[in-house]
Amino acid sequence: MSETSTSFKAIDPATGESLAGDFLNATYPDVEAAVAAALAAHQSYKQVSAAAKAVFLRNIAEEIEWIKDDLVIRAAAESGLPVGRLQGEVGRTTGQLRMFASQAEEGSWVHAIIDRAQPDRQPLPRSDIRRMLVPVGPVVVFGASNFPLAFSVAGGDTASALAAGCPVIVKAHPAHPGTSALVGQAIGRAVKRTGLHEGVFSILFDSGYQIGAALVAHPAIKAVTFTGSFKGGMALVQIAQQRKEPIPVFAEMGSINPVFLLPAALESRAVKMADMYAGSITLGAGQFCTNPGLLLAIQSPALDVFVKQLKTAIAEVLSATMLTPGICANFNTRSDEALVEKGVLLLGSSVKLRPDVSNQALARVAVVHALDFINNPRLREEVFGPYSLLVVADDTKQLDAVAAVLDGQLTITVMAEKTELKDHADLIRTLSDKAGRLILNGVPTGVEVCAAMQHGGPFPATNDSRFTSVGATAVLRFVRPMAWQDWDNALLPDALKDGNPLNIFRLVDNNWTKD
């Protein structure tokens, strides 16, 4: 790693032109300084009250809203995403900051458990044991390419880690450094407004991989989050596992999000479903981790109607700017490779190229027979972009066989009439073992930020399916359980004290109560 800084510029993917601003690649001393600051902040931030953390998170949301117009303009220039989409993403970003603020403020999420002493128990007395979740320490967050706001500098990973009481070091994504800098400055202002230790948040820039690797390998880092490719996620997992002290990497690595089109549903609404899925496949140029990359059905006249309408709908979709030249090139390469696999035929594609704009992706939908799909693991790999493969089975037994070979997924969708669900009970049981979120009669694109959301699934969708990167329980990635045995009440954390001064729900002698 270089000891001296070099710089890089952001690129407008729609034009290929460099944007204003030079961003310094971080150096090894920068990593050491950021980690040292985070370690120093950890000692004070882990003691900060829930109310103070809530104020901090709400201040970040306010700071982002104050720069919203400039932020959206810069994010659009760096990502090629439309302004309307980015305005919505600002709202999602500030909304989840406020959600975690409210969660921290309420406080029951620490899962306080109290088993009071039983000095007269025979044959041996029981000690007073009290347990709760505590922050693990400094966390590294990698910004995501496809969500320059909601999954990046002040996104759900950062918000949930701060809510848990952990200092955060963000490795900004090189595709949108200007956007990252604006948000990083907003968080810095919030740190000053609330009087917190300045090391509670840092941001480092790097156009390559060295800084990210150095952060994950640093012995003071206690957890890592990542949203991106399987290759990138597993590289970070490997670095973390090779440390003297292995640490968790919570890597969301995408999936193909299968959609099962059951016969009765096709019979009753084939055209409607085709239009619905043409929109979902091409939404955001297909650059969602929940993009429906796989459609599965049994051959029938109703499926023929679906295919005809899907081809028509896809052909009417304008080509779209992809996030970076590299992502666009990778999409074209991967989709070209998929189309020459045995038995794969192109069903339809977008035809309205925009010659005046760079890095355009043409949506593609292909078809393959179930047996060819079962026998070719390459067809089960993600093609990041507006691509989907229709797998056609001869009968229910063959459709079940296709389901059996699927890997773990973020989402699996079942399009069905309620009357036919019982006829496919075995299929649905199989799918429930492979999905983080099982959807009925919807589309996978669109992830609600709420308490019940699960955005994470069995490997290889994520490397740890026990956690989510979206929703209230995302905070659980950054804590560990700790018990206090036979401590005086005055010396206990407030969450565990007699009298319940925080007025939170606690499990006291196996009874949930606020008493």
Catalytically annotated residues: 252, 289
CB 441 within 8 A of CB 290: no
State the Cα angle at 309 between 303 and 311, rounded to 5°: 100
Phi then psi dihedrals of residue 262, to 5 deg: -80, 155
User: Alpha-carbon dihedral of residues 440, 443, 449, 454, nearest 10 degrees?
Assistant: 50
User: Coil, helix or strand for 490?
Assistant: helix
Burial tier of 300 (Cβ tally within 10 Å: 0-12, 13-18, 19+): middle
User: Alpha-carbon dihedral of residues 263, 264, 269, 273, nearest 10 degrees?
Assistant: -40
State the Cα angle at 372 between 368 and 378, rounded to 5°: 90
Task: Note the helical H segments in 46-82.
Answer: 50-66, 68-79
Distance, CA of 213 to CA of 232 (rounded, Å): 11
Distance, CA of 328 to CA of 321 (rounded, Å): 8
Q: Is 268 left (phi over 0), alpha (psi -120 to 50) or beta?
A: alpha
**Tokens found for residue 498:** 């007699």
User: Coil, helix or strand for 11?
Assistant: strand
